[in-house]
Every structure is written in C-alpha cells, then in structure tokens.
A = this chain, B = another copy of it.
Amino acid sequence: MADAGTDLSHKPIVVLVRPQLGENIGKTARAMLNFGLTELRLVKPRDGWPNPDAGPSASGADIVLDRAQVFETTAEAVADCAHIYATTVRKRGVTKPVLTPEQAAAEIVSTPGRSAILFGAERSGLEIDDVALSRAILTVPINPEFSSLNLAQAVILCAYEWSKTQDQAGTLVQPTEEEMLPPAPQAELEGLVAHLEAMLVPNRYFFPPDRAEATRLTLRNVLTKPGWNHLEIRTLRGVLSSLQRQPRDTD
C-alpha cells in the first residue's frame, strides 16, 4: 500500500459523463488535484471542449484540465479500465454491489488494474447504460431527508477517501518535540502549589480545618491535570506574584 501513491494504476480516473457546465468541470479538476488525482476524462461534454468557463473555477488546477481527454461514449472512456464504479443511487432491480466512497477507495488501491469512477450529468445523473458498464455502484451515504450533493462535492468526497488510503504522514505536521515541551518536573509544580496555598491560607480558603486536607487534595488534583510545562508554570508563578502585589478585596 505504501507505494500506491506513486503507482499510477492505483489512482482512479475521474470520468464525467455528459457534464453540462464548464464551471463544474473546473471545480471537479480543483477537487481532484486537492487530493492528488490528476486524470480526468470527459464523455460528450455538452458545450464541447475546451470550455472557457472551466479554467477560472479550477483555481489553478490547470494541469488536470490541460490533460483531460474527451470521448464519444462512456465505453470508450473506460476501455482501458479493469474496475468501473458508477456514482449513483442504486435503483430497484440493479443487483450490483453498493459501496461507500471509503469501501471503493479501499478496493481501488488493493486490486490490480486501473479504476474509473463515473459521475453523471448535473441534473440527470448517470444513465442505465453507464451503470450497466460498471462493476459496482458507489453511493455517498447521505441525509435521507436532504440529499443535495453537487457534482464537484461528490468528486471531492471520492478523491478525499482515495487520498486517505495514501501515506498521509508527510502532510499533517504535528508540533515538534522542541515546540511541544514536556510537563515540568514535579518540583516546579510543587513550587506552584506551595505558592498558591501560601496565598490562599490568609484568605481562609482552607477553612474549616477538618476540611483542609480534602481541599488541598482537590486543588492539587486540579493543578496536576494539565501537565503544564516549565514555561507555563513560570507564567502561572508570575500570575500569582502579580496577584500578591496588587491590593485586593478579601472576603
């Protein structure tokens, strides 16, 4: 799986079947490239190709548009693909398996041969012939009372799930060890606790005496929990010192 990212055969091809608006083709390219997909195929785009409306909405994903290939039929567009997924909702009587984007992504990266994901026209979706070409149906599980995914959103969810199968270690940069200071040594925490207690005693915080031990324990538990590092402890000590200097009302 680790080298699937560099193996072209595990990157699905996005096939837009009879897309209507150039703007949506551009948005599709943008959605794809965000998650590392680059191969776009168009079946009979309504307004021909290239389409001047596509570029502006691609927001810089021109490489995807420039390389897009155009086909007359869906069958020609997927002729070199071993696995074809039809993005749609299964209709009664269709007996193909129904997969989520996550399940489809897992299949795509684990089976040999190129995969294509078909997306239908903006309003009408895929036709029965497109579904018949496909090995499986890909459906985004969605709010049954409000199902309103647009074309680029359906594409981005599929591209995102594919991307999740790839090695993401390099893309999410956690704080470095240097930045993420370890909790301060216990002695520093004790210093803070002692400092605070010393300030609280005169204010009768630990009164009455038979409750004092329990109250100290509670306070210590509260202060132990955050695991403050030494800079944070130093900050809090500064806060306490400052409070000591300022005259305050006491109860």
Binding site for B on A (CB under 8 A): 30-31, 33-36, 59-61, 90, 92-98, 100, 102, 139-144, 146-149, 153, 156-157, 160, 163-164, 168, 170-175, 179-181
Whether the pair A60, B148 counts as a contact (CB closer than 8 A) is yes
Would A164 and B102 count as touching, CB distance under 8 A? Answer: yes
Q: Do A61 and B164 contact each other (CB < 8 Å), given the known contacts A100-B172, A173-B90?
A: no
Copy tally for this chain in the complex stands at 2
Across-interface contacts of A153 in B (CB, < 8 A): 31, 34, 153, 156
Q: When the two chains form their complex, are residues B142 and A170 in contact, meaning their CB atoms are under 8 A apart?
A: no
Assess whether B164 is in contact with A141, with CB atoms less than 8 Å apart. Answer: yes
Q: Can you list 17 pairs linking A and B with CB atoms under 8 Å apart?
A: A33-B148, A34-B142, A34-B143, A34-B146, A34-B149, A35-B143, A60-B148, A61-B146, A92-B179, A96-B175, A97-B175, A100-B172, A140-B160, A141-B172, A142-B163, A144-B170, A157-B157
Top-3 shortest CB links A-B: A141-B171, A141-B168, A33-B146
List residues of chain B with CB within 8 A of the CB of A174. Answer: 90, 97-98
Q: How far is the CA of A98 from the CA of B174 in the complex (A)?
A: 6
A33-B143, A90-B174, A157-B160 known, 8 other contacts, Cβ within 8 Å: A33-B146, A34-B146, A34-B148, A90-B175, A98-B172, A141-B164, A141-B171, A143-B163
The reply to whether B171 and A144 form a contact with Cβ atoms under 8 Å apart is yes
When the two chains form their complex, are residues B141 and A181 in contact, meaning their CB atoms are under 8 A apart?
Answer: no
Counting chain B CB atoms within 10 Å of each CB, which of A34, A59, A61, A170 scores highest?
Answer: A34
User: For the complex, what is the distance from the CA of A163 to the CA of B102, rounded to whole Å?
Assistant: 13
Cα distance A139–B98 when bound, in Å?
Answer: 30
| A61: chain B residues within 8 A (beta carbon) | 146, 148
Residue of A61, A94, A172 with highest tally of chain B CB at under 10 A: A172
By the criterion CB–CB under 8 Å, are B164 and A142 in contact? no
Closest to A63 in B: B146
The distance from the CB of A111 to the nearest CB of chain B, in whole angstroms, is 15
Does B94 contact A175, Cβ atoms closer than 8 Å? Answer: yes
